């Protein structure tokens, strides 16, 4: 009888333990919503004045507050990502929309993409020249066409077709110009003429946003003017789904910034998700692995957010403009290491 009694005690204890573990694993996350944003990676040549640093901090704080308010009100992650990036495209301190860098022929070509982690639907535009907010045009590619990516004149023509949409505004190419970006372009041209190191310094900044809403849905988006003095027609990673942008409710939402050619070659954004899905890595472990083992040094940074609201923001450059917040009140705003 004693042996039977002990066996029953062990059996029921095992059931209670298993039930407790199951309850912990299935319990809802304490984080109801979360958001992370970046404003571009920084190279050694990217010297920021104290005034510029303060301006970036204030802007990132304002964007976080707006994004968190929208998420707290129950807005969808995909809406929050689009709206956050629209605001960054309208701010000339970023290399996206107004404030985009100049290409080799002295014009602006803009790229953007957005992805819904719930449906895996995505939209992107590349080398657009007259659309005020490329991220909104990218979303319309997702919702209004059977395609994922439209480029150049075809993307601008699609904008003509979407002219009745309030989120689409057409502007002359010169709208994107700023004196600061023009100076940077002229410096790059002179550097090339002198046949010095032709590696283009990373300028802040390509912009990106990842978000988790109250319903557990993830979304990601990225927008950029590209690299200073880039060849006419060059397209980087920002409009390439799986390279600069990726979102999957089962794993994470990702946005990258840096030298796009490296992100494209390694499918960097999808690589983060794949490491989580196939190797069981956490979002932070996956981001660190890609930056350390997959991408070459001094090529960029990544922000990512998993389905539990856990945020990862890392880079292999001297710095990255970045900020994050969640429903628990946690807030982080950083520029350098």
Beta strands in 214-251 (DSSP E): 218-224, 245-247
> What is the Cα–Cα distance from 234 to 300, expressed in whole angstroms?
18
Are 95 and 87 in contact, with CB atoms under 8 Å apart?
Answer: no
Are 318 and 44 in contact, with CB atoms under 8 Å apart?
Answer: yes
Are 137 and 128 in contact, with CB atoms under 8 Å apart?
Answer: yes
pTM exceeding the 0.75 threshold for the entire prediction? yes
Q: What is the dihedral angle through the alpha carbons of 17, 21, 22, 28, rounded to the nearest 10 degrees?
A: 140
Query: Which of 306, 302, 303, 308 lies closest to 324 in space, CA to CA?
Result: 303
- Tell me whether residue 275 is exposed, middle or buried, using C-beta atoms within 10 angstroms of its C-beta: 0 to 12, 13 to 18, 19 or more: buried
Q: What's the pLDDT at 7?
A: 43
Are 219 and 246 in contact, with CB atoms under 8 Å apart?
Answer: no
Q: How far apart are the first and last CA of the chain?
A: 65
Give the pLDDT confidence of 75-87 residue by residue, as tens digits: 999 999 999 999 9
> What is the Cα–Cα distance from 133 to 88, expressed in whole angstroms?
10
**206: annotated active-site residue:** yes
pLDDT of residue 23 exceeding 70, the answer is no
Catalytic residue among 59, 129, 200, 206: 206
Return the SS3 of 160: helix
Q: What's the pLDDT at 48?
A: 87
To the nearest whole number, what is the mean pLDDT of the chain? 89
Q: Distances from the Cα of 171 to the Cαs of 101, 130, 134, 163, in angstroms?
A: 16, 5, 11, 12
Are 60 and 40 in contact, with CB atoms under 8 Å apart?
Answer: no
Give the pLDDT confidence of 276-321 residue by residue, as tens digits: 999 999 999 999 999 999 999 999 999 999 999 999 999 999 999 9
Are 43 and 301 in contact, with CB atoms under 8 Å apart?
Answer: no
Q: What's the pLDDT at 187?
A: 87
Q: What is the mean pLDDT of residues 162-178?
A: 96
Are 156 and 171 in contact, with CB atoms under 8 Å apart?
Answer: no
């Amino acid at each position: 009888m004693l042996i039977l009694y002990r066996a029953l005690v062990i059996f029921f204890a095992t059931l209670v333990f298993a039930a407790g573990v199951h309850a912990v694993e299935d319990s809802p996350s304490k984080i109801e919503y979360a958001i992370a944003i970046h404003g571009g990676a920084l190279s050694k040549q990217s010297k920021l004045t104290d005034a510029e640093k303060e301006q970036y901090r204030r802007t990132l704080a304002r964007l976080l507050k707006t994004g968190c308010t929208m998420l707290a009100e129950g807005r969808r992650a995909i809406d929050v990502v689009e709206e956050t990036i629209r605001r960054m495209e309208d701010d000339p301190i970023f290399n996206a929309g107004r404030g985009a860098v100049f290409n080799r022929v002295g014009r602006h070509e803009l790229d953007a993409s957005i992805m819904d982690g719930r449906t895996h639907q995505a939209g992107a535009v590349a080398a657009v020249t007259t659309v005020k907010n490329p991220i909104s045009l990218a979303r319309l590619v997702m919702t209004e066409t059977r395609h994922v990516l439209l480029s150049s004149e075809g993307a601008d023509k699609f904008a003509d077709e979407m002219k009745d949409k309030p989120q689409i505004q057409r502007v002359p190419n010169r709208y994107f110009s700023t004196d600061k970006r023009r100076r940077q372009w002229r410096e790059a041209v002179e550097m090339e003429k002198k046949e010095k190191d032709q590696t283009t310094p990373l300028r802040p900044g390509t912009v990106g946003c990842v978000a988790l809403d109250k319903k557990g849905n993830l979304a990601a988006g990225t927008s950029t003017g590209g690299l200073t003095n880039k060849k006419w027609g060059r397209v980087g990673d920002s409009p390439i789904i799986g390279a600069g942008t990726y979102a999957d409710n089962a794993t994470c939402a990702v946005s990258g910034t840096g030298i796009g050619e490296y992100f494209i070659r390694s499918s960097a954004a999808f690589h983060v998700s794949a490491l989580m899905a196939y190797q069981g890595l956490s979002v932070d472990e996956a981001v660190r692995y890609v930056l350390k083992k997959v991408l070459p040094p001094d090529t960029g940074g990544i922000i990512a957010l998993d389905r539990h609201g856990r945020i990862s923001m890392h880079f292999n450059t001297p710095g990255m403009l970045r900020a994050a917040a969640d429903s628990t009140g946690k807030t982080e705003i950083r520029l350098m290491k």
